[in-house]
């Protein structure tokens, strides 16, 4: 592990910690201020995701045409602005959408910088470190953020602003590095939107690229929907009612993803990407079993196993995406494409649940449907799996 990777891990840890602290701060803010409608929390999640879709044609260009460390700094500052607007009592749906805009800009640079810092045979391991540290930050951010927010919304928001600023400081230490030129480059200058859709056509000609886009979209749509369902399911089934209680339940999912991210380099090297499909199948079966759970420690155990399968599934997919992207359209552009498709999938999934919740659909039934939909989708996506390298 080189010094630059250590600085990136610290910057990413602090930024991800603040991202999740502010999520549970917003949830606590809504729960303290009123008894929220069942659709409001899914709508909050959707307001965060919209920016990933709308900004996708430009975020990859930013990551590939500017030093990625500077893009990380700018994204953190934008997220800090969104947190500051919450302090000013701006509508949470609007303020959280601005935080989402910063996150949309941050993501392609965060993952796209990895191939510039490590060698090919270290890429899965580096992704494991990034994914593991990110999930650890999510774990701590949601638990500590929820506890602080239940005590004081203002202190929680000031804390997240400070973390975004310190993360920017560590990103500054990464220094300037000129991004490598992508191999697939249009000869004429095109607008960012035209170039974005041209990249979709270029990227989707590759079987491996299609799989990582579809697989990543499937994982994140399922994860986002499961998280918002848990907010409604926990009070109904487990009698958990505070942001802290819900965060403490969700941390078992996060711990599982950390462990899955740590063990996956030995299980699924890039040359054997096909193995990832079994983790997706297991994740779906576990979500179905969670819908029949009514005891808190059983729920925690199942969430822990779901997390392990999720980590095993997503880490090699991210590594494959970065490698294919760097060899074709640029890693930042590739991650922006993934961000576009996975966030469209997340918006559709979370939006569908929000609509179902507004029609008083039971959270248990929603979770059961999620597990079944994930299994069916995983089988369909598996048809796009490339053959393993020898």
What DSSP assignment string belongs to 14-27?
HHHHHHHHHHHHHH
Does 184 map to a domain? no
For residue 183, the model assigns a pLDDT of: 44
CATH code of the domain covering residue 310: 1.20.1250.20
Q: How far apart are CA 254 and CA 296, in angstroms?
A: 16
Does 239 map to a domain? yes
For residue 192, the model assigns a pLDDT of: 64
Q: Note down the domain range covering 95.
A: 3-173+192-382
Does 181 map to a domain? no
Tally of CB atoms within 10 A around 286:
22
Does 389 map to a domain? no
Does 217 map to a domain? yes
For residue 389, the model assigns a pLDDT of: 47
SS3 label, residue 277:
helix
For residue 309, the model assigns a pLDDT of: 92
Number of domains making up the chain: 1
Burial status of residue 254 (CB atoms within 10 A of its CB: 0-12, 13-18, 19 or more)? buried
Q: Of 353, 64, 77, nearest to 233 (Cα)?
A: 353
Does 357 map to a domain? yes
Does 147 map to a domain? yes
Tally of CB atoms within 10 A around 39:
19
For residue 247, the model assigns a pLDDT of: 77
- Helices and strands of the chain, counted as H and E runs: 15, 0
For residue 178, the model assigns a pLDDT of: 52
Question: Angle 68-71-72 (CA atoms, 0-180°, nearest 5)?
Answer: 90
Contact by Cβ (8 Å): 145, 23: yes
Does 187 map to a domain? no
Which parts of the chain register pLDDT below 70? 1, 33-38, 120-121, 124, 175-192, 241, 270-271, 326-327, 329-333, 384-390
**Six token digits for residue 232:** 């409604």
For residue 289, the model assigns a pLDDT of: 94
Q: Of 368, 388, 127, nearest to 276 (Cα)?
A: 388
């Amino acid at each position: 592990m080189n010094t630059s990777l250590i600085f990136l891990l610290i910057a990413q840890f602090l930024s991800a910690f603040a991202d999740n602290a502010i999520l549970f701060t917003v949830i606590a803010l809504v729960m303290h201020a009123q008894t929220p409608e069942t659709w409001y929390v899914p709508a909050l999640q959707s307001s965060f995701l919209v920016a990933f879709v709308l900004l996708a044609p430009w975020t990859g260009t930013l990551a590939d045409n500017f030093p990625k460390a500077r893009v990380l700094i700018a994204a953190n500052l934008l997220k800090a602005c969104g947190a500051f607007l919450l302090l000013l009592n701006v509508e949470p749906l609007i303020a959280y959408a601005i935080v989402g805009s910063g996150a949309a800009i941050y993501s392609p640079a965060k993952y796209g910088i990895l191939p510039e810092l490590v060698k090919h045979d270290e890429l899965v391991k580096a992704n494991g470190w990034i994914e593991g540290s990110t999930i650890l930050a999510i774990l701590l951010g949601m638990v500590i953020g929820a506890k602080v927010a239940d005590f004081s919304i203002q202190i929680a928001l000031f804390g997240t602003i400070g973390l975004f600023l310190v993360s920017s400081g560590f990103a500054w230490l990464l220094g300037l590095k000129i991004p490598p030129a992508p191999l697939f480059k249009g000869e004429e200058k095109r607008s960012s939107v035209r170039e974005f859709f041209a990249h979709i056509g270029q990227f989707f000609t590759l079987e491996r690229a299609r799989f990582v886009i579809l697989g990543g979209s499937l994982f994140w749509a399922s994860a986002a929907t499961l998280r918002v369902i848990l907010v409604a399911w926990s009070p109904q089934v487990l009698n958990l009612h505070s942001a802290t209680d819900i965060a403490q339940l969700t941390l078992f999912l996060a711990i599982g993803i950390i462990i899955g991210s740590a063990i996956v380099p030995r299980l699924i090297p890039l040359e054997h990407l096909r193995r990832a499909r079994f983790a997706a199948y297991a994740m779906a079966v576990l979500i179905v079993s969670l819908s029949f759970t009514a005891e808190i420690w059983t729920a925690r155990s199942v969430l822990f196993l779901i997390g392990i399968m999720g980590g095993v599934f997503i880490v090699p997919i991210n590594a494959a995406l970065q490698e294919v992207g760097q060899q074709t359209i640029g890693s930042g552009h590739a991650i922006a494409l993934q961000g576009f498709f996975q966030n469209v999938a997340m918006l559709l999934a979370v939006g569908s649940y929000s609509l179902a919740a507004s029609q008083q659909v039971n959270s248990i039934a929603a979770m059961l449907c999620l597990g079944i939909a994930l299994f069916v989708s995983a089988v369909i996506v598996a048809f796009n799996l490339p053959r393993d390298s020898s």
